[in-house]
Amino acid sequence: MFQDITVQELQSGPQNKNHTFIDVRSPQEFQEATIPGSINIPIFTDEERSEVGTIYKQIGKQEAEKKGLEIFSKKLPAFVETFQQINTEKTVFCWRGGMRSKTAATVLDLMGLSVQRLTGGIRAYREWVVHTLEQMDFSPSVYVLDGFTGTGKTILLQKLQAQGYPVIDLENMAGHHGSIFGQIGLEPSNQRTFDALLLEKLLEYREEPFVFVEGESKRIGKVLIPDVLFNKKQNGFHFLIDLPMEVRVQTILEEYQPWERPHEFEEAFHIIKKHIHTPVRKQLMTALTEKNYATAAELLLTHYYDPRYTHANRAFTEDQQKRIHADSTEDALQQIIQTLNVSAS
Torsion of CA 257, 259, 265, 269, to 10 degrees: 100
Q: Residue 272: its pLDDT value, please?
A: 83
At residue 343, the pLDDT reads: 79
- Rounded CA-CA distance 35/21 in Å is 8
Taking phi over 0 as left and psi of -120 to 50 as alpha, with beta for the rest, 315 belongs to: beta
The active-site residue out of 7, 35, 55, 94 is 94
- Euclidean distance between CA atoms 209 and 139, whole angstroms: 8
pLDDT at position 308 is 83
Q: What angle do CA 268, 263, 190 make, to 5 degrees?
A: 50
Q: Residue 37: which H helix or E strand, with range?
A: none
23/43 Cα distance (integer angstroms) = 9
Q: What angle do CA 263, 265, 268 make, to 5 degrees?
A: 110
Q: Tell me the one-letter amino acid at 47.
A: E
User: Residues with Cβ < 8 Å from 6, sequence gap 6 or more?
Assistant: 118, 119, 120, 124
At 114 the pLDDT is 92
C-alpha–C-alpha distance, residues 121 and 167, integer Å: 30
User: What is the model's pTM?
Assistant: 0.90
Strand order in the sheet with 141-147: 210-214, 141-147, 237-242, 321-325
What pLDDT shows up at residue 312? 66
Instruction: For residue 189, give the amino acid letter.
Output: S
Instruction: Report the 10 Å Cβ neighbour count for 50.
Output: 13
Q: Confirm whether 140 is a catalytic residue.
A: no
Angle among Cα 321, 324, 326 to the nearest 5 degrees reads 175
Residue 97 region by backbone torsions, left for phi larger than 0, else alpha for psi between -120 and 50, else beta: left
From residue 284, give the alpha-carbon distance in Å to each of 50, 272, 279, 290, 298: 47, 11, 9, 10, 9
Q: Quote helix, strand, coil % in the chain, to nearest 5.
A: 55, 15, 30
**pLDDT value at residue 52:** 95
What is the predicted pLDDT for the residue at 311?
Answer: 65
pLDDT tens per residue across all 345 residues of the chain: 788 999 988 887 655 567 899 999 999 999 999 999 999 999 999 999 999 999 999 999 999 989 999 999 999 999 999 999 999 999 999 999 888 999 999 999 999 999 999 999 999 999 999 999 999 999 999 999 999 989 999 999 999 999 999 999 999 999 987 776 666 667 889 999 999 999 999 999 999 999 999 998 899 988 999 999 999 999 999 999 999 999 999 998 888 888 888 888 788 788 888 888 888 989 988 998 899 999 999 998 999 889 888 766 767 777 889 999 999 999 999 999 999 998 776
The 10 Å CB-count burial string (b at 16+, else e) for 189-205 is beebbbbbbbbebbeeb
